[in-house]
A = this chain, B = another copy of it.
Amino acid sequence: MRDVVILGVGMTRFGKFLERSLQDLGREATWAAIEDANIAPRDIPIAYVANSLAYQLTELKGIIGEHVLGASGFFGIPIINVENACSSGSTALRGACLEVASGNYDIALALGVEKLFCADTAKSAAAMSSGTMYAKYGFMFPALYSMSLKHWMEKYHITREHFAKVTMKNSKNGSLNPRAQFRKPLSMEEILNARVIAGPLTLYMCSTMGDGAAAAIVCSRQKACQYTSRPLIHVAACELVSGTVFYPDKHHEPIGTHASRLAYQKSGIGPEDINLAEVHDGMAPAELIIYEEMGFCKEGESARWIDEGVTQITGKLPVNPSGGLTAKGHPVAATGLAQVAEVVWQLRGEAGERQIKNPKVGLTENAGGWILDDNAACAVTILKK
Protein backbone atom coordinates (compact mmCIF):
# COMPACT_ATOMS: atom_id res chain seq x y z
CA MET A 1 0.00 0.00 0.00
CA ARG A 2 1.19 3.50 -0.83
CA ASP A 3 1.68 6.40 1.56
CA VAL A 4 -1.28 8.78 1.61
CA VAL A 5 -1.09 12.48 2.48
CA ILE A 6 -3.69 15.16 3.05
CA LEU A 7 -3.20 17.64 0.23
CA GLY A 8 -5.95 20.06 1.16
CA VAL A 9 -8.77 20.66 3.62
CA GLY A 10 -11.72 23.00 3.72
CA MET A 11 -14.81 23.65 5.75
CA THR A 12 -17.70 26.04 6.09
CA ARG A 13 -18.38 27.81 9.32
CA PHE A 14 -20.70 25.59 11.36
CA GLY A 15 -24.00 27.14 12.46
CA LYS A 16 -27.65 27.71 11.70
CA PHE A 17 -28.04 28.55 8.03
CA LEU A 18 -31.72 28.21 7.16
CA GLU A 19 -31.20 29.86 3.79
CA ARG A 20 -28.36 27.57 2.65
CA SER A 21 -28.89 24.21 0.92
CA LEU A 22 -26.93 21.00 1.31
CA GLN A 23 -25.50 21.63 -2.17
CA ASP A 24 -24.41 25.12 -1.20
CA LEU A 25 -22.64 23.97 1.96
CA GLY A 26 -20.98 21.09 0.13
CA ARG A 27 -19.76 23.37 -2.62
CA GLU A 28 -18.11 25.80 -0.20
CA ALA A 29 -16.18 23.07 1.65
CA THR A 30 -15.19 21.26 -1.56
CA TRP A 31 -13.91 24.35 -3.29
CA ALA A 32 -12.06 25.49 -0.18
CA ALA A 33 -10.30 22.10 -0.11
CA ILE A 34 -9.52 22.32 -3.84
CA GLU A 35 -8.02 25.76 -3.40
CA ASP A 36 -6.07 24.63 -0.34
CA ALA A 37 -4.75 21.61 -2.27
CA ASN A 38 -3.70 23.81 -5.19
CA ILE A 39 -5.31 21.43 -7.69
CA ALA A 40 -7.94 21.85 -10.40
CA PRO A 41 -11.42 20.30 -9.93
CA ARG A 42 -10.72 18.03 -12.91
CA ASP A 43 -7.82 16.52 -10.94
CA ILE A 44 -10.35 14.82 -8.66
CA PRO A 45 -11.22 11.41 -10.18
CA ILE A 46 -13.33 9.95 -7.33
CA ALA A 47 -15.28 11.14 -4.30
CA TYR A 48 -16.63 9.71 -1.06
CA VAL A 49 -19.52 11.73 0.32
CA ALA A 50 -20.81 11.38 3.87
CA ASN A 51 -24.27 12.42 4.97
CA SER A 52 -26.48 11.07 7.70
CA LEU A 53 -29.79 12.92 8.05
CA ALA A 54 -30.63 14.67 4.75
CA TYR A 55 -33.07 11.83 4.01
CA GLN A 56 -35.15 13.01 6.94
CA LEU A 57 -34.61 16.75 6.75
CA THR A 58 -34.22 17.81 3.11
CA GLU A 59 -35.88 16.99 -0.20
CA LEU A 60 -32.89 14.84 -1.16
CA LYS A 61 -33.78 11.21 -0.48
CA GLY A 62 -30.90 9.41 -2.14
CA ILE A 63 -27.56 9.64 -3.95
CA ILE A 64 -26.74 12.74 -1.91
CA GLY A 65 -23.19 12.97 -3.22
CA GLU A 66 -24.28 13.01 -6.87
CA HIS A 67 -26.60 15.92 -6.06
CA VAL A 68 -24.13 17.87 -3.99
CA LEU A 69 -21.10 17.39 -6.23
CA GLY A 70 -23.23 17.67 -9.38
CA ALA A 71 -24.17 21.15 -8.19
CA SER A 72 -20.45 21.88 -7.77
CA GLY A 73 -19.77 21.00 -11.40
CA PHE A 74 -18.52 17.43 -10.99
CA PHE A 75 -19.72 15.01 -13.64
CA GLY A 76 -18.98 11.41 -14.50
CA ILE A 77 -16.70 10.43 -11.62
CA PRO A 78 -17.48 7.54 -9.27
CA ILE A 79 -19.23 8.83 -6.17
CA ILE A 80 -19.60 6.61 -3.13
CA ASN A 81 -22.14 7.78 -0.56
CA VAL A 82 -21.32 6.53 2.91
CA GLU A 83 -23.12 6.66 6.23
CA ASN A 84 -22.05 5.69 9.72
CA ALA A 85 -24.05 8.08 11.93
CA CYS A 86 -21.75 10.62 13.64
CA SER A 87 -18.67 8.82 12.28
CA SER A 88 -19.78 9.17 8.65
CA GLY A 89 -17.14 11.81 7.87
CA SER A 90 -14.27 9.58 8.93
CA THR A 91 -15.81 6.69 7.00
CA ALA A 92 -15.59 8.86 3.87
CA LEU A 93 -11.96 9.70 4.66
CA ARG A 94 -11.14 6.03 5.12
CA GLY A 95 -12.58 5.22 1.69
CA ALA A 96 -10.72 8.04 -0.03
CA CYS A 97 -7.46 6.94 1.61
CA LEU A 98 -7.95 3.34 0.44
CA GLU A 99 -8.46 4.49 -3.18
CA VAL A 100 -5.10 6.25 -3.05
CA ALA A 101 -3.20 3.74 -0.89
CA SER A 102 -4.24 0.91 -3.21
CA GLY A 103 -3.04 2.77 -6.29
CA ASN A 104 -6.57 2.86 -7.72
CA TYR A 105 -6.32 6.67 -7.96
CA ASP A 106 -3.68 9.28 -7.14
CA ILE A 107 -6.17 11.74 -5.66
CA ALA A 108 -9.52 11.35 -3.91
CA LEU A 109 -12.02 13.70 -2.31
CA ALA A 110 -13.76 13.04 1.01
CA LEU A 111 -16.69 15.34 1.78
CA GLY A 112 -18.97 15.39 4.79
CA VAL A 113 -22.07 17.55 4.54
CA GLU A 114 -25.07 17.95 6.81
CA LYS A 115 -28.05 20.25 7.14
CA LEU A 116 -29.86 19.75 10.41
CA PHE A 117 -31.75 23.01 10.81
CA CYS A 118 -35.03 23.33 8.97
CA ALA A 119 -37.96 25.69 9.42
CA ASP A 120 -39.67 23.14 11.68
CA THR A 121 -37.30 22.77 14.64
CA ALA A 122 -39.32 19.90 16.09
CA LYS A 123 -38.64 17.92 12.91
CA SER A 124 -34.90 18.58 13.26
CA ALA A 125 -34.93 17.52 16.90
CA ALA A 126 -36.81 14.33 16.07
CA ALA A 127 -34.30 13.46 13.33
CA MET A 128 -31.38 14.12 15.69
CA SER A 129 -32.85 11.61 18.12
CA SER A 130 -33.74 9.06 15.48
CA GLY A 131 -30.29 7.56 15.93
CA THR A 132 -31.45 5.80 19.06
CA MET A 133 -34.07 3.11 19.28
CA TYR A 134 -34.81 4.34 22.80
CA ALA A 135 -36.01 7.77 21.59
CA LYS A 136 -39.54 6.46 21.34
CA TYR A 137 -39.47 5.81 25.08
CA GLY A 138 -38.27 9.36 25.74
CA PHE A 139 -34.60 8.46 26.08
CA MET A 140 -32.88 10.92 23.80
CA PHE A 141 -29.10 11.14 23.59
CA PRO A 142 -28.47 13.31 26.68
CA ALA A 143 -30.62 10.96 28.77
CA LEU A 144 -28.74 7.92 27.51
CA TYR A 145 -25.41 9.59 28.22
CA SER A 146 -26.60 10.60 31.63
CA MET A 147 -27.66 7.07 32.53
CA SER A 148 -24.39 5.61 31.38
CA LEU A 149 -22.32 7.97 33.55
CA LYS A 150 -23.50 7.29 37.11
CA HIS A 151 -21.44 4.23 37.89
CA TRP A 152 -18.30 5.69 36.33
CA MET A 153 -18.70 8.99 38.19
CA GLU A 154 -19.05 7.22 41.53
CA LYS A 155 -16.17 4.85 40.94
CA TYR A 156 -13.66 7.55 40.07
CA HIS A 157 -15.04 10.49 42.06
CA ILE A 158 -15.93 12.46 38.96
CA THR A 159 -18.23 15.43 39.48
CA ARG A 160 -20.29 17.72 37.28
CA GLU A 161 -17.60 20.36 37.87
CA HIS A 162 -15.21 18.17 35.89
CA PHE A 163 -17.65 18.12 32.97
CA ALA A 164 -18.03 21.90 33.29
CA LYS A 165 -14.26 22.25 33.04
CA VAL A 166 -14.30 20.38 29.72
CA THR A 167 -16.99 22.72 28.41
CA MET A 168 -15.15 25.78 29.76
CA LYS A 169 -11.96 24.74 27.93
CA ASN A 170 -13.79 23.96 24.69
CA SER A 171 -15.87 27.14 24.72
CA LYS A 172 -12.68 29.14 25.18
CA ASN A 173 -11.08 27.29 22.24
CA GLY A 174 -14.20 27.81 20.14
CA SER A 175 -14.07 31.53 20.84
CA LEU A 176 -10.71 31.57 19.04
CA ASN A 177 -12.05 29.63 16.01
CA PRO A 178 -13.71 31.76 13.32
CA ARG A 179 -15.48 28.66 11.93
CA ALA A 180 -17.04 27.65 15.28
CA GLN A 181 -20.81 27.75 15.76
CA PHE A 182 -20.57 29.07 19.33
CA ARG A 183 -17.89 31.67 20.05
CA LYS A 184 -18.69 32.80 23.58
CA PRO A 185 -16.23 31.70 26.27
CA LEU A 186 -18.33 30.34 29.11
CA SER A 187 -17.60 30.61 32.84
CA MET A 188 -17.93 27.77 35.34
CA GLU A 189 -21.01 29.47 36.77
CA GLU A 190 -22.70 29.92 33.40
CA ILE A 191 -22.19 26.25 32.59
CA LEU A 192 -23.29 24.85 35.95
CA ASN A 193 -26.27 27.19 36.30
CA ALA A 194 -27.58 26.59 32.79
CA ARG A 195 -30.74 24.60 32.21
CA VAL A 196 -30.36 20.91 33.09
CA ILE A 197 -30.93 18.74 30.02
CA ALA A 198 -30.48 15.39 31.76
CA GLY A 199 -28.73 15.54 35.12
CA PRO A 200 -25.78 15.97 35.50
CA LEU A 201 -25.67 17.44 31.99
CA THR A 202 -26.52 21.11 31.56
CA LEU A 203 -27.26 22.86 28.27
CA TYR A 204 -23.68 23.83 27.49
CA MET A 205 -22.32 20.33 28.11
CA CYS A 206 -24.33 18.99 25.15
CA SER A 207 -23.60 19.42 21.46
CA THR A 208 -26.58 20.58 19.47
CA MET A 209 -27.83 20.93 15.91
CA GLY A 210 -25.68 22.51 13.24
CA ASP A 211 -25.40 22.94 9.50
CA GLY A 212 -22.06 22.67 7.75
CA ALA A 213 -19.63 20.79 5.57
CA ALA A 214 -15.97 19.80 5.67
CA ALA A 215 -13.73 18.22 3.05
CA ALA A 216 -10.30 16.70 2.67
CA ILE A 217 -8.40 15.91 -0.50
CA VAL A 218 -6.01 12.98 -0.15
CA CYS A 219 -3.16 12.18 -2.49
CA SER A 220 -0.31 9.74 -2.91
CA ARG A 221 2.89 11.05 -1.35
CA GLN A 222 4.67 10.86 -4.70
CA LYS A 223 2.05 12.84 -6.60
CA ALA A 224 1.68 15.43 -3.82
CA CYS A 225 5.08 16.93 -4.60
CA GLN A 226 3.67 18.11 -7.94
CA TYR A 227 1.16 20.32 -6.17
CA THR A 228 2.79 21.63 -3.04
CA SER A 229 6.09 22.48 -1.45
CA ARG A 230 4.52 22.69 2.01
CA PRO A 231 5.37 19.97 4.55
CA LEU A 232 3.18 16.96 3.76
CA ILE A 233 0.67 15.68 6.31
CA HIS A 234 0.81 11.89 6.28
CA VAL A 235 -2.24 9.73 7.07
CA ALA A 236 -0.46 7.26 9.34
CA ALA A 237 -3.69 5.40 10.16
CA CYS A 238 -7.44 5.64 9.61
CA GLU A 239 -9.10 2.73 11.37
CA LEU A 240 -12.82 2.04 11.58
CA VAL A 241 -14.54 -0.49 13.84
CA SER A 242 -18.09 -1.30 14.90
CA GLY A 243 -19.29 -2.10 18.40
CA THR A 244 -20.79 -0.21 21.30
CA VAL A 245 -19.88 3.31 22.42
CA PHE A 246 -19.92 2.71 26.19
CA TYR A 247 -19.46 -0.52 28.08
CA PRO A 248 -20.23 0.30 31.67
CA ASP A 249 -19.94 -3.40 32.44
CA LYS A 250 -16.69 -3.82 30.46
CA HIS A 251 -17.68 -7.18 29.06
CA HIS A 252 -16.31 -5.95 25.76
CA GLU A 253 -13.48 -3.65 24.83
CA PRO A 254 -14.95 -0.15 24.33
CA ILE A 255 -15.18 0.86 20.70
CA GLY A 256 -12.81 3.82 21.13
CA THR A 257 -10.18 1.62 22.75
CA HIS A 258 -10.54 -0.90 19.94
CA ALA A 259 -10.19 1.68 17.14
CA SER A 260 -7.25 3.47 18.78
CA ARG A 261 -5.45 0.18 19.44
CA LEU A 262 -5.69 -0.63 15.71
CA ALA A 263 -4.57 2.88 14.73
CA TYR A 264 -1.54 2.72 17.04
CA GLN A 265 -0.62 -0.72 15.67
CA LYS A 266 -1.02 0.39 12.07
CA SER A 267 1.02 3.58 12.46
CA GLY A 268 3.65 2.44 14.94
CA ILE A 269 2.75 5.58 16.87
CA GLY A 270 1.78 5.38 20.54
CA PRO A 271 -0.47 7.58 22.67
CA GLU A 272 2.66 9.13 24.19
CA ASP A 273 3.60 10.46 20.73
CA ILE A 274 0.36 12.37 20.15
CA ASN A 275 0.72 16.18 20.34
CA LEU A 276 -2.94 17.10 19.86
CA ALA A 277 -6.30 15.43 19.45
CA GLU A 278 -9.73 16.31 18.14
CA VAL A 279 -12.24 14.01 19.79
CA HIS A 280 -15.96 13.34 19.73
CA ASP A 281 -17.30 15.29 22.73
CA GLY A 282 -20.95 14.84 21.76
CA MET A 283 -21.51 15.47 25.47
CA ALA A 284 -18.75 16.92 27.68
CA PRO A 285 -18.23 13.73 29.75
CA ALA A 286 -17.40 11.81 26.58
CA GLU A 287 -14.20 13.82 26.24
CA LEU A 288 -12.96 12.52 29.61
CA ILE A 289 -13.86 8.95 28.72
CA ILE A 290 -12.01 9.34 25.42
CA TYR A 291 -8.80 10.49 27.20
CA GLU A 292 -8.81 7.04 28.76
CA GLU A 293 -9.96 5.08 25.71
CA MET A 294 -7.25 6.68 23.55
CA GLY A 295 -4.67 5.71 26.17
CA PHE A 296 -3.71 9.34 26.81
CA CYS A 297 -4.13 8.68 30.52
CA LYS A 298 -4.90 5.61 32.60
CA GLU A 299 -8.42 4.57 33.55
CA GLY A 300 -9.73 6.84 36.28
CA GLU A 301 -7.18 9.61 35.66
CA SER A 302 -9.13 11.80 33.26
CA ALA A 303 -10.63 13.97 36.01
CA ARG A 304 -7.16 14.80 37.26
CA TRP A 305 -6.14 15.63 33.68
CA ILE A 306 -8.89 18.19 33.23
CA ASP A 307 -8.18 19.59 36.73
CA GLU A 308 -4.53 20.07 35.86
CA GLY A 309 -5.18 21.66 32.46
CA VAL A 310 -3.20 19.00 30.58
CA THR A 311 -5.59 19.20 27.59
CA GLN A 312 -5.74 22.98 27.27
CA ILE A 313 -4.16 24.57 24.20
CA THR A 314 -1.14 25.43 26.34
CA GLY A 315 -1.08 22.01 28.03
CA LYS A 316 0.96 18.91 27.38
CA LEU A 317 -1.67 17.29 25.13
CA PRO A 318 -4.22 19.80 23.82
CA VAL A 319 -7.61 18.23 23.07
CA ASN A 320 -10.27 19.86 20.90
CA PRO A 321 -8.38 23.08 20.14
CA SER A 322 -11.11 23.77 17.55
CA GLY A 323 -13.72 23.97 20.30
CA GLY A 324 -14.87 20.38 19.76
CA LEU A 325 -18.43 19.35 19.07
CA THR A 326 -19.96 21.40 21.88
CA ALA A 327 -18.46 24.74 20.73
CA LYS A 328 -17.40 24.30 17.11
CA GLY A 329 -20.70 22.54 16.36
CA HIS A 330 -21.72 19.08 15.23
CA PRO A 331 -23.27 18.83 11.76
CA VAL A 332 -23.27 15.05 12.03
CA ALA A 333 -21.52 13.77 8.88
CA ALA A 334 -19.26 16.83 8.60
CA THR A 335 -17.70 16.35 12.04
CA GLY A 336 -15.07 13.71 11.25
CA LEU A 337 -13.65 15.74 8.39
CA ALA A 338 -13.79 18.99 10.37
CA GLN A 339 -11.66 17.24 13.01
CA VAL A 340 -9.18 16.31 10.30
CA ALA A 341 -9.15 19.88 8.94
CA GLU A 342 -8.32 21.22 12.41
CA VAL A 343 -5.47 18.77 12.91
CA VAL A 344 -4.07 19.61 9.46
CA TRP A 345 -4.17 23.34 10.18
CA GLN A 346 -2.51 22.78 13.58
CA LEU A 347 0.25 20.60 12.09
CA ARG A 348 0.88 23.21 9.41
CA GLY A 349 0.95 26.05 11.97
CA GLU A 350 -2.08 27.73 10.38
CA ALA A 351 -4.46 27.66 13.34
CA GLY A 352 -4.24 31.35 14.18
CA GLU A 353 -5.04 32.36 17.74
CA ARG A 354 -5.63 28.77 18.82
CA GLN A 355 -2.32 27.47 17.41
CA ILE A 356 -0.56 24.82 19.48
CA LYS A 357 3.19 25.08 19.80
CA ASN A 358 4.88 23.03 17.08
CA PRO A 359 2.83 19.82 17.01
CA LYS A 360 4.15 16.87 14.99
CA VAL A 361 1.43 14.23 15.38
CA GLY A 362 -2.33 14.62 15.76
CA LEU A 363 -5.20 12.20 16.34
CA THR A 364 -8.91 12.36 15.61
CA GLU A 365 -11.53 10.20 17.28
CA ASN A 366 -14.97 10.15 15.66
CA ALA A 367 -17.66 7.89 17.11
CA GLY A 368 -21.25 7.44 16.13
CA GLY A 369 -24.31 5.39 16.67
CA TRP A 370 -26.66 4.05 19.18
CA ILE A 371 -25.53 4.26 22.76
CA LEU A 372 -26.19 1.27 25.05
CA ASP A 373 -26.72 -0.87 21.99
CA ASP A 374 -24.29 -2.99 19.97
CA ASN A 375 -24.70 -0.82 16.90
CA ALA A 376 -22.13 1.95 16.80
CA ALA A 377 -19.03 2.84 14.82
CA CYS A 378 -15.77 4.54 15.72
CA ALA A 379 -12.88 5.76 13.60
CA VAL A 380 -9.48 6.87 14.84
CA THR A 381 -7.19 8.70 12.43
CA ILE A 382 -3.55 9.58 13.07
CA LEU A 383 -1.95 12.38 11.06
CA LYS A 384 1.77 13.04 11.10
CA LYS A 385 3.88 15.91 9.78
A residues 66-87 with Cβ under 8 Å of B? 66-67, 69-70, 74-85
Q: Say which one of A117-125, A142-150, A154-162, A369-377 lies at the interface with B.
A: A369-377
Say whether, besides A62-B130, A370-B63, A84 and B80 are in contact (CB < 8 Å). Answer: yes
Say whether, besides A104-B1, A130-B62, A242 and B52 are in contact (CB < 8 Å). Answer: no
**Is A131 in contact with chain B by the CB < 8 A criterion?**
yes
**Is A55 in contact with chain B by the CB < 8 A criterion?**
yes
Is A76 touching B376 in the complex (CB atoms < 8 A)?
no
Residues of B contacting A94 with CB < 8 Å? 78, 80
Is A63 touching B102 in the complex (CB atoms < 8 A)?
no
**Is A186 in contact with chain B by the CB < 8 A criterion?**
no
The docked-state distance in angstroms from the alpha carbon of A50 to that of B85 is: 15
Residues of B contacting A63 with CB < 8 Å? 83-85, 131, 368-370, 375-377
Residues of B contacting A258 with CB < 8 Å? 76
**Is A342 in contact with chain B by the CB < 8 A criterion?**
no
Say whether, besides A102-B98, A102-B102, A131-B62, A243 and B76 are in contact (CB < 8 Å). Answer: yes
The docked-state distance in angstroms from the alpha carbon of A65 to that of B85 is: 11
The docked-state distance in angstroms from the alpha carbon of A284 to that of B65 is: 28
Besides A61-B127, A66-B242, 13 more A-B contacts (Cβ < 8 Å) are A1-B102, A62-B131, A63-B368, A63-B369, A66-B84, A66-B370, A66-B374, A66-B375, A66-B377, A70-B242, A77-B242, A83-B83, A98-B98
